[in-house]
Structure 1
Amino acid sequence: MNRLKSACAIAALVLGIATPVIAGRPQAAPAVEAAAESPYTVEEVMVPMRDGAKLQTVILRPRNQSGPLPILFSRTPYGVNTAAPRSVPKNWAALDKDGYIYVSQSMRGRFKSDGVFTLSTAVHPNDPTAIDESTDAYDSIDWLVKNVPNNNGKVGMWGVSYPGFAAAVALAHPHPALKAVSPQAAWIDYWQNDDLHRNGALRLSYATDWVSSLQLDKNDNKEFHYDTYDTYDWFLKTGPVENIDKLYFKGRVPMFTSLLDHPNHDSFYTSQRWSDSLGKTVVPTLNVAGYWDQEDPWGSWQIYFRQAKNDPDHLASIVAGPWAHGFWRTPADSLGPIPYNVASGQQFQEQVEAPFFAYWLHGKGEKPGAGVKSFQSGSWTWHSYKSWPPAEAKKTDLYLHANGTLSFTAPAASEGCRDYVSDPANPVPFRQRPMSGTYLSPDWRWWEAADQRFLGGRPDVLSYVSAPLTDNLTVTGTVAARLMAATSGTDSDFVVKLIDVYPDDFEKSHAQLQPGDYAKSLNGYELPIAMDVRRGRFLASDTTPQPLVPEKITAWDVPLREHDHVFLKDHRIMVQVQSSWFPVIDRNPQRFVPNIMRAKPGDFVKATQKVCSGSKILLPVVH
């Protein structure tokens, strides 16, 4: 699905405004109208900002409104619809029972809104003349509470993905009327572990599709056109990253050009880290994150951690579950192809989100609790944690052995290493081929839960497998890997995957199989639980990269983020290690160059990679 079916449509679901989509692409919103059967009236206004710019804003209010109501406000770069929905959208029916005035706004520089859209996440708390997304949120709230008739003076903000960031950044300088915020799949740092990078490694295909969709046309979310059916082939044929700008964008996508110019974690990124401005938590906040969020899995956790450091009134919370990007806005009763038959998304909407806004904006019900609420995968049950990781989680080392096994027993130093050859001309694909563009098929949503057996037989992927578990193993908290590894090159990537291997007899075969059914079975399914990449040039410093010493065994710490999962009895644990993840991550040339974003074809060389004794996964095990 394209960005509007993946992000803007999710934002539209949050707002309850269905943006029209033709052939997968969002269309311009129709003229203002209020369908007779709609439960809402609709109004379009241009809201003035402090610098005189006016932002396109749509106001929906219940047709049968009888008294003052709070405002639920969302800001988006993907376009707002000026038509009222014909019925209450299912994904916020629980909210609608309490009654809200729903307001949506096109962010500065998008669609009818004035100004230039830069994708910047910077805030300027010490500059009263500066304009940024936090000041636009402040000015909009100020105008809304003063000019929208029959509101009760309380505003909540919410949103998924970019609208999630737009809600979160309002916390940098909150308006007094802002009484509750729910940033869902938000982010704080483009260089870290959300949209544009993974630990400094460029998210190549996603940056190409997503950034261009926002900057090529002010009035559209343009899909990038690939002239090759398999985008793996397209990126490989295009060559070094800068060729995308030279041959296709030609300077028309400023953020992509900035990525080329800023390969390291310099001030271009740190100056946009808006969360640095967060101090004492004063606005109740419901963060939301998906453990399988293929776009923004990291930022909402970091916002929560930052808030929890100074939260004397216990206002900060986070909810997480086995969800892809925005999947909690659906019933959410499966993890990709794995059904668990609990409507976890619907439960979140009814039992967490609606009561959160009802209490803080209506004064109804009990005060929501702080801390972490998690729908745990494997057990498929809800859990609440006062701290994260839970106090009872014990750090436990799971070791990679040279014979290809995994165990909790430390190896002897004499075990030595396993090796493979990494060839940039034949990089490891991140999902099955042929690959569509990011949003051109449903495959993108659940690629992080896809069966990893599609890589079987590749000599450049090392697998380590445990014996079948004799009891359940619960992992709750921060997961990480430490590889003791070496390369024959002067730069390198290592990708680490923690995988839950289902038993071969997990499902009984159906008597009447249709073509393709056998491959769809969960028997032997290799479910990724945690996956990420570490780039060698940044091992010593993310601001001043350094070449690796060839053949030197070095500790590679690979963060694998937050997780809450039960490996069930009779399942096995697998770890895979590889050195490319293409084209979701750009290819490392494996020869050190000053600016990896502008590597030349001759810089891409084969390298022999070694994974050696002492390599391990660090698991927070709860007994």
Structure 2
Amino acid sequence: MRKLAILLAASTALLPLSLTAARPQTPLPAPAQQSPFTFEKVMVPMRDGAKMETVILRPRGQTGPLPILFQRTPYGVPQATPPTVPGGWKSLVDDGYIFVFQSMRGRFGSDGAFTLSTAVHPNDPKAVDEATDAYDSIDWLVKHVPDTNGKVGMWGVSYPGFAAAVALVHPHPALKAVSPQAAWIDYWQNDDLHRNGALRLSYVADWVYSLQQTKESLEDFPYDSVDTYESLLKIGTLEGLDQGYFKGKIPMATALLDHPDHDSFYTDQNWQKALGKTTVPTLNVAGFWDQEDPWGSWQIYAKQQQNDPDHLSVMVAGPWAHGTWQGKMDKLGNIPLGRDTGVEFREQIQTPFFRYWLHGIGTKPDYHARILQSGSNVWKSYANWPPKGTTATSLYLRADGSLSFDAPPPTEACRDYVSDPANPVPFRERPISPTYPRPEWRWWESADQRFVDHRPDVLSYVSAPLTADLTVTGALAAQLQASTSGTDSDFVVKLIDVLPEDDAKFDENASLGGYPRQLNGYQWPIAMEVRRGRFLASDTKPQALVPGKVMQWDVPLRDHDHVFQKGHRIMVQVQSSWFPVIDRNPQSFVPNIGRAKPGDFVKATQKVCAGSKIALPVMR
């Protein structure tokens, strides 16, 4: 699924991609089926005269004033009515809404240029940006769409999630509820284009290319191999990608080359800083295993909490990949959840939220955070996030490859490995398919990590089986005491829940390929992140590392709520490449990694030393 061509839609039908019915299998004409919606396409004018392609789907046969659910997207709007109610919409349609979809500026039938910019200009009355386009669109809708109750809600997953969230910068008076889901705020930190300043190479090739190659389509990058690992290793760097394939026609890729450090190009686009007092009810939604935008929705919620006297902002999260809560969600990749948690989210949280704020029916959410806790698969309600009652606990990486809650002596030996940029550690099993349209990308963050365990350039540390459940709730982090023989380096840290060897009886009649997919001994990653050495002291003025000097590497592992169950073991893996989801660090300091030359890439000996630990907020 394109990132995401979900219109907050549908468990089975994603409107931009599947509005037309399948061709009949019989030569006889099929009887006409009346859609449950009426269809209208209009061009909505903005303050600068540009017009946005906008589609209005009104429930057929429903009378009386209805609220509007509005979504803005770069992925294309419906070109016809759906033949039936999309499965993910059922509870919303039962309540009654006018659904409105709009192509964002510069995409498909909308005027203007599409720049992928998230910058806003709240103090410039002449500026035009995504926030002003949202305001102008809502203003037009409430004045020109008949039979509305004057209330508008915005929603969206991924890019549409950002488009909904940015409307909060200067909300129109008619905007009464917003649900930014897998939204983003920061291209540098942990949304889409970087992870802690490390470039997401394969996503530039796949996502950025698809959005900027043409205006009215979503084209796939032309890989020359079935294994994107092999293709991108040959291409080498972002400059190789830009010059050899993009030919300078993908503006965002060129901008990333020109801005290798955390300068104003990125900080000016961090639109969330412009949020003031929370005045619009907001349902923020995130997936703990979101492989695309795991950061933004949490930060929007945190910013809103700074000035939310009327308790209008709430946070919802669960064991989900990017946007998967909008479809059938009974498994996180290979990890069973026991029931359809997507239905639970939509019917118990999303629909009641919009029902209360747009219809005035039901009750206001009485929680700050509603979390589907992984490991236990139990819904938790918290009065605060992070919740109170946790104890800061350190889990130490020991020289014998064990994990222990006991600190080692400072004289304990280091462990080492050789990192070779010519043979980087893959981020998932090879051959690695492109991001689109194959499903592997969606689930890679929950994939079994045994495919790299025991590689000579991956260190594994594992605990004894737990004698009781261990619940971690809040922000996780790693603190490595580590060195490199190079002048630049990456360290990737993975926190893993190792399932027992007898977790489930294996079906001996399973089809070919079933055996390595079983859950017995499964190394389930709970949190994974990278830290780039050149940015340890400053992400605006990168510095070369001192070869052989042991330094503290702080590696944030984001917010989680997880139960390591009794009998499970905890594992930590440490490595120095994660390719091609992250570009290769040359391991020799250069001004711009995106323009590194072949001779800049060198082997380096990495050491992980005494005092390295994982910081866990343990819920007692």
TM-score range, shorter chain: over 0.9
Q: Which amino acid aligns with 2:466?
A: L
Question: 2: distance between equivalents of 1:16 and 1:42?
Answer: 17
In structure 2, list runs of 5 or more residues that go unmatched.
20-31
What does residue range 416-435 of structure 1 map to in structure 2 within 5 Å?
Answer: 416-435=413-432
- Residue 26 of structure 1 corresponds to none
What does residue range 180-579 of structure 1 map to in structure 2 within 5 Å?
Answer: 180-579=177-576
Question: 2: distance between equivalents of 1:17 and 1:50?
Answer: 31
The answer to whether the 8 Å contact 1:158/1:184 transfers is yes
| Residue 11 (structure 1) shift | 4.8
Number of equivalent positions: 608
Question: 2: distance between equivalents of 1:222 and 1:268?
Answer: 26
Q: Which amino acid aligns with 1:569?
A: K
User: Which of 166, 169, 174 is the aligned partner of 2:171?
Assistant: 174
Q: Which amino acid aligns with 2:267?
A: T
Question: 2: distance between equivalents of 1:400 and 1:21?
Answer: 50
Q: Secondary structure at the match of 1:153?
A: strand
Q: Which is further off, 118-127 or 342-351?
A: 342-351
Closer, same or farther in 2 for the Cα pair 1:504/1:14, shift >3 Å? closer
Q: Secondary structure at the match of 1:446?
A: helix
Question: 1: distance between equivalents of 2:7 and 2:494?
Answer: 28
Closer, same or farther in 2 for the Cα pair 1:108/1:158, shift >3 Å? same
**CA offsets 1:275-318 (integer angstroms, 9 cap, x no match):** 01111100000000000001001100000000011100000101
**CA offsets 1:406-463 (integer angstroms, 9 cap, x no match):** 0100011111200000000000000000011111311101000000001133100000
**CA offsets 1:152-206 (integer angstroms, 9 cap, x no match):** 1000000000000000000011000000000000000100101000000000001
| Residue 512 (structure 1) shift | 3.3
| Residue 13 (structure 1) shift | 3.3
| Residue 92 (structure 1) shift | 1.8
Q: Secondary structure at the match of 1:410?
A: coil
Question: 2: distance between equivalents of 1:143 and 1:17?
Answer: 26
| Residue 151 (structure 1) shift | 0.6
Question: 2: distance between equivalents of 1:193 and 1:340?
Answer: 26
The answer to whether the 8 Å contact 1:15/1:104 transfers is no
**CA offsets 1:72-121 (integer angstroms, 9 cap, x no match):** 00000000112111111111211111100000000000001000000000
1:617 aligns with 2:614: yes
1:149 aligns with 2:146: yes
| Residue 10 (structure 1) shift | 5.1
Question: 2: distance between equivalents of 1:618 and 1:21?
Answer: 45
CA RMSD of the aligned region, Å? 1.4
**CA offsets 1:384-403 (integer angstroms, 9 cap, x no match):** 11112211111110000011
Question: 2: distance between equivalents of 1:11 and 1:229?
Answer: 31
Q: Which amino acid aligns with 1:477?
A: G
Q: Which amino acid aligns with 1:75?
A: R
| Residue 12 (structure 1) shift | 5.2
Q: What TM-score comes out, normalization by structure 2 length?
A: 0.96
Question: 2: distance between equivalents of 1:64 and 1:589?
Answer: 63
Q: Which amino acid aligns with 2:552?
A: A
Q: Which amino acid aligns with 1:111?
A: F
The answer to whether the 8 Å contact 2:72/2:102 transfers is yes
Q: Which amino acid aligns with 1:418?
A: R
- Residue 51 of structure 2 corresponds to 54
Closer, same or farther in 2 for the Cα pair 1:403/1:419, shift >3 Å? same
1:68 aligns with 2:69: no
The answer to whether the 8 Å contact 2:289/2:445 transfers is yes
Question: 2: distance between equivalents of 1:429 and 1:383?
Answer: 35
User: Which of 116, 120, 130 is the aligned partner of 1:119?
Assistant: 116
Q: Secondary structure at the match of 1:620?
A: strand
1:602 aligns with 2:599: yes
Q: Secondary structure at the match of 1:420?
A: strand
| Residue 511 (structure 1) shift | 4.7
Q: Secondary structure at the match of 2:299?
A: helix
| Residue 531 (structure 1) shift | 0.1
The answer to whether the 8 Å contact 1:263/1:595 transfers is yes
The answer to whether the 8 Å contact 2:12/2:87 transfers is no
- Residue 95 of structure 2 corresponds to 98
| Residue 237 (structure 1) shift | 0.7
Question: 2: distance between equivalents of 1:308 and 1:14?
Answer: 31
| Residue 381 (structure 1) shift | 0.5
- Residue 42 of structure 1 corresponds to 39
The answer to whether the 8 Å contact 2:11/2:327 transfers is no
Q: Which amino acid aligns with 2:460?
A: S
Q: Which amino acid aligns with 2:399?
A: A
The answer to whether the 8 Å contact 1:15/1:102 transfers is no
The answer to whether the 8 Å contact 2:472/2:616 transfers is yes
Q: Which amino acid aligns with 1:612?
A: C
Q: Which amino acid aligns with 1:607?
A: A
**CA offsets 1:496-516 (integer angstroms, 9 cap, x no match):** 000000010111233534432
Question: 2: distance between equivalents of 1:165 and 1:176?
Answer: 19
- Residue 15 of structure 2 corresponds to 18
Q: Which amino acid aligns with 1:478?
A: A
Q: Which amino acid aligns with 1:298?
A: W
Closer, same or farther in 2 for the Cα pair 1:544/1:344, shift >3 Å? same
Q: Secondary structure at the match of 2:16?
A: coil
The answer to whether the 8 Å contact 1:398/1:618 transfers is yes
Q: Which amino acid aligns with 2:305?
A: A
Question: 2: distance between equivalents of 1:20 and 1:300?
Answer: 26
The answer to whether the 8 Å contact 2:288/2:294 transfers is yes
- Residue 25 of structure 1 corresponds to none
- Residue 88 of structure 1 corresponds to 85
Question: 2: distance between equivalents of 1:370 and 1:124?
Answer: 33
Question: 1: distance between equivalents of 2:572 and 2:63?
Answer: 59
Q: Secondary structure at the match of 1:140?
A: helix
Question: 2: distance between equivalents of 1:309 and 1:560?
Answer: 23
Question: 2: distance between equivalents of 1:251 and 1:511?
Answer: 53
| Residue 17 (structure 1) shift | 6.0
Question: 1: distance between equivalents of 2:48 and 2:11?
Answer: 29
Q: Secondary structure at the match of 1:225?
A: coil
Question: 2: distance between equivalents of 1:163 and 1:477?
Answer: 27
Closer, same or farther in 2 for the Cα pair 1:514/1:44, shift >3 Å? closer
In structure 1, list runs of 5 or more residues that go unmatched.
23-34
